[in-house]
């Protein structure tokens, strides 16, 4: 009941104090993972898609299955939903992973480029006048995740596919190693930096012993230093995020040395960085960055994927999700992220009845914060950490309203620590601290229960 009254009071405060600055909007889509092999037949008991890994799919329908990557019907539905909901966004952020979860010998360089090309052309057809800032995912290469720190055929061909979206200078930088920067919407004072964080992925054997793959850290540092000199505000965009996966304890994505350098980059340049937008998890989450004195300085938003594919990562209990797409609202004068609105497709309902993309939640309404600034996202994190009703709400949003089970004590530790601590050592400390705090009362109660027996035995 206390949680309900807090929600009512905070709603009154937020509605009365909402910013009156001009608001812009942009789409963020990620992890489409189109599986061209998907096909529904008369008997779905056997696998109907290569990405299921031979897992039976008896409930598969035309919009997809939770064990498979996206069918074309799902891809088509998601991009059309974007056009129906917000047909004229300021721009689109697309953070990669376009190909299915299949062994490398099921693909090849040409099929990978064909999938990227088909999705690119489809987005262009539905949003012909919209600028797209696109990053490569670890599945947008062959072999997957093995992105080289130098010029390659896939970098060059992808740059040509995206040439309508890239400035000439951006196209040349992209060809070198898959990253670029340019003025956001060609506006003075605003900048976008698109990173190839696949170079830092711990599965990338090509960058294992390189201190600064493709000199991207040095390049980004200079770009952000120049942005500060020119009074620019910056959005950072990438695919693989730093930190830990909230659905599997102690599962990082970056190598530790790259993770530290990324955090150092954010700490050094947080004054100019107004938002970080990433994918890869397929889940709905965020990551906090703090100064040395503990003040929130930056927030990274992890947008859920379009693919509903259930991960095969060992240790993840149920890694499926409903397909999700997301609108960010921002202050056109400052680039402050003002709100986040997530739309989703209930895949089960879509297969039984019809495709119905609907609003899942608006961040300021769901968590009762005035905006999506670092200070507000810190407040969201504190709510999730301390109040069961907010933790459960976040947990259900995390899988895009797919997993509605209870988030228990271990679940809470995994989610709270992954959001709060991006650094390796700080994450380990958080897991230990939160584990002690959650088990302490239980152990104390057990001790009180056993104490008479222990005294009698003595």
Helices (H) and strands (E) in the chain, counts: 13, 12
CATH number, domain of 104, equals 3.60.21.10
Work out the average pLDDT over 249-268.
98
In 10 A of CB 127, how many CB atoms?
Answer: 20
Tokens at residue 382, please? 């504190």
The confidence score (pLDDT) of residue 4 equals 53
- The answer to whether residue 1 is domain-embedded is no
User: What pLDDT does 319 receive?
Assistant: 95
Contact indicator for 279, 31 with CB cutoff of 8 Å: yes
Average pLDDT over residues 352-370: 97
Cis ω on the peptide bond leading into residue 143 (within 30° of 0)?
A: yes
Helix (H, G, I), strand (E, B) or coil at 131: strand
Residues 248/208, Cβ–Cβ less than 8 Å: no
Which tens digits make up the pLDDT trace of 103-143? 999 999 999 999 999 999 999 999 999 999 999 999 999 99
Predicted confidence at residue 410, as pLDDT, reads 97
| Per-residue pLDDT tens over the stretch 166-207 | 999 999 999 999 999 999 999 999 999 999 999 999 999 999
In a domain, 176, yes or no: yes
Please give the residue that has the higher pLDDT: either 443 or 352: 352
- Residue with structure tokens 């879509």? 350
- Between CA 262 and CA 240 the distance in angstroms is 12
* pLDDT at position 444 over 60: no
pLDDT at 9: 46
Which residues are CB-neighbours of 10 under 8 A, at least 6 positions away? 368
Tokens at 286, concatenated: 């965020």
The pLDDT assigned to 454 comes to 40
Q: Which domain holds residue 302?
A: 19-457
Which residues neighbour 326 within 8 Å (Cβ) at sequence distance 6 or greater? 27, 28, 29, 303, 304, 340, 341, 342, 343
In a domain, 184, yes or no: yes
Q: Say how far residue 190 (Cα) sits from the centre of its chain.
A: 22
How many Å apart are CA 69 and CA 64, to the nearest integer? 7
- DSSP of 145-187: T---SS--HHHHHHHHHTTTTS-HHHHHHHHHHS-EEEEGGG-
Residue 392 resides in a domain:
yes
Is residue 8 assigned to a domain? no
Q: Cα 138 from chain centroid?
A: 13
CB 96 within 8 A of CB 137: yes
Question: Among residues of the chain, what percentage have pLDDT more than 70?
Answer: 90
pLDDT digits (tens, 9 = 90+) for 392-415: 999 999 999 999 999 999 999 999
Question: What's the token pair of residue 455?
Answer: 């005294």
Count of the separate structural domains present in the chain:
1
Q: Whole-prediction pTM value?
A: 0.92
Cα separation of 125 and 440, whole Å?
A: 58
For the chain, give the number of residues: 458
What is the average pLDDT value for the chain, to the nearest integer? 92
Query: How would residue 41 be classed by pLDDT, with cut points 50, 70 and 90?
Result: confident
Bridge partner residues of 343 (DSSP): 325, 359
Distance CA 115, CA 49 (A): 16
CB of 217 closer than 8 Å to CB of 199 = no
């Amino acid at each position: 009941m206390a949680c309900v009254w807090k929600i009512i009071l905070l709603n009154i405060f937020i509605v009365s104090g909402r910013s009156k600055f001009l608001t812009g909007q942009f789409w963020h889509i990620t992890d489409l993972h189109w599986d061209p092999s998907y096909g529904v037949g008369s008997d779905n008991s056997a696998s109907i898609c290569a990405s299921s890994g031979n897992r039976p799919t008896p409930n598969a329908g035309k919009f997809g299955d939770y064990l498979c990557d996206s069918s074309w019907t799902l891809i088509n539905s998601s991009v059309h939903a974007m056009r129906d909901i917000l047909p004229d966004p300021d721009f689109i952020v697309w953070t990669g992973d376009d190909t299915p979860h299949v062994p490398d010998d099921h693909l090849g360089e040409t099929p990978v480029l064909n999938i990227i090309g088909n999705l690119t052309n489809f987005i262009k057809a539905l949003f012909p006048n919209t600028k797209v800032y696109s990053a490569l995912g670890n599945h947008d290469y062959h072999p997957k995740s093995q992105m080289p720190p130098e010029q390659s055929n896939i970098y060059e061909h992808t740059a040509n596919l995206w040439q309508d979206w890239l400035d000439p200078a951006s196209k040349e930088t992209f060809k070198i190693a898959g990253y670029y920067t340019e003025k956001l919407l060609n506006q003075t004072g605003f900048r976008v930096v698109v990173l190839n964080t696949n170079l830092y992925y711990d599965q990338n054997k090509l960058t294992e012993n390189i201190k600064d793959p493709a000199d991207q850290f040095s390049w980004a540092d200079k770009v952000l230093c120049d942005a500060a000199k020119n009074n620019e505000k910056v959005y950072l965009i990438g695919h693989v995020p730093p930190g830990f996966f909230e659905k599997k304890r102690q599962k990082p994505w970056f190598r530790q040395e790259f993770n530290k350098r990324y955090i150092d980059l954010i700490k050094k340049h947080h004054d100019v960085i107004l938002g970080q937008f990433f994918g890869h998890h397929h889940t709905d989450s965020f990551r906090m960055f703090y100064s040395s004195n503990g003040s929130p300085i930056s927030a990274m938003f992890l947008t859920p994927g379009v693919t509903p594919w259930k991960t095969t990562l060992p240790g993840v209990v149920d890694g499926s999700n409903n397909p999700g797409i997301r609108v960010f609202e921002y202050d056109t004068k400052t680039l402050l992220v003002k709100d986040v609105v997530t739309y989703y497709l209930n895949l089960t309902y879509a297969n039984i009845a019809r495709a119905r993309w609907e609003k899942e939640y608006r961040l300021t309404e769901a968590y009762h914060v005035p905006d999506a600034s670092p200070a507000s996202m810190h407040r969201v994190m504190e709510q999730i950490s301390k109040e069961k009703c907010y933790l459960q709400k976040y947990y259900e949003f995390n899988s895009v309203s797919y997993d509605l089970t209870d988030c228990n004590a271990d679940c809470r530790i995994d989610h709270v620590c992954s959001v709060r601590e991006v650094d390796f050592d700080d994450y380990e400390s958080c897991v230990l601290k939160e584990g002690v705090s959650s088990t302490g009362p239980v152990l104390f109660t057990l001790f009180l229960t056993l104490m008479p027996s222990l005294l009698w035995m003595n």
